[in-house]
Structures are given as structure tokens and as C-alpha cells.
Amino acid sequence: MPVIRPAGRKQPIATVRDNLTDLLVKELMGERSRMGPVIFELPTDQANQVDVIVVWEAWKSLPLEARSQVVRDAYQRFARVLESSLHQIDPNKPRDLLVPTPASVTCATWDDLTTLDLLPYKIQPTAGEDAFDPEDARLLMTEVGAIWTPFGVQLRFPNKEMATDVYARLMTEMPEARWSIIESSFGPVLE
């Protein structure tokens, strides 16, 4: 049956979409939120374009077709915010783009990740919990971009380069945890 609403009243899905766009813009601006989205920007062959993967449980309330538009809207809004906050000394001189444009957008929840091979590289501590403080490890993992899952936080990455960069930071900040990079279907890659 159709839903009939008074004129001028927003569709509930539009409200959800607007709210998620606002939260994504804040994340792009560096305002991290607990259980917020994890955004991966992957370089492409085109200058100023990236392939974007956004992992976020909040996607569950939004239809698949609307998710990528939320990401594109957030990037556009983020670009406008940055542009408006900068003073241009020479208006005749073109300025480089401040924000890359998403070439492709993939939006996933944890359930989606369990069926898709979007993030095949995982980093986890391999030392026994008596060698390090698990709560400190969880906080560090969250700081470097862990994804909130039904099983706790997990560090997952779309490529080995990103995983290796985070691995180096983890080994510097908490070597006693003996971090390991694992390729999802092939076991340990780097220790």
C-alpha cells in the first residue's frame, strides 16, 4: 500500500540520507566518531580521482542504490566547505582541487564484508594477552581505522600497501602485541 503524507513533509529516507551525509562530511573533516564510518580512498589512474570504499553499519537503514549518492554528496559538500574557508589570493589563477572526486563508490556493512572480498588484508595482534593490554590495543586499533563489527574492532584493508603502512605504525606504538598482517584466504603475509 502507498504511504500518503502531508505536502512538504520529507520522506523518512531523505532524513536518513541527510543525516548520514552530515556524519560523513564530519568524518572527512577529521571529526572522528565512535562506530563511525571507515573511509578508504584508493588512487586511480586519473588525477584528483579516487575509488572510495565506505564501511559503516549505519548503511543498514539505507537502500543500496542510495548509499553511493550519500558518499558523492558528502564529498561535494566537503569540497564546498574547504573552498569557502580558503582565501584565494589571485582569483585569475586556477586552484588545484582540494578534495578528490570519487571515481567509484562502494558502500558496505560488516555483513557485506563477510560475503564480498573488499578488504582482504587483516591486521591483528598475535602475542598472548598477558604480553599487552587488550584495551590499549583496541584503542590503538580504533585510532588507526578499525571497523566496528559484531565481534569487536577489526583492522581490515583493501590492499597490502595500506595494511603495511598501518602495520608499521602499530609495531612502532605497541610492538609487544606482535602484530601480523593476514591475507584473508592465504594466512600470514608479514610478521
CATH of domain 119-191: 3.30.70
Cβ(35)–Cβ(57) under 8 Å?
Answer: yes
Which whole-number Å values give the CA distances from 67 to 5, 6, 11, 88, in the listed order? 24, 26, 16, 33
State the 10-residue block means of pLDDT for the chain, 191 residues long.
53 81 93 86 93 93 89 94 73 71 93 86 92 94 90 92 97 97 63 46
What are the structural domain ranges in the chain?
Answer: 11-86+93-118, 119-191
CA angle 82, 85, 88 (to 5 degrees): 100
146-189: per-residue pLDDT in tens?
A: 998 888 899 999 999 999 999 999 999 999 999 999 997 534 44
CATH 3.30.300 given to domain 11-86+93-118: yes
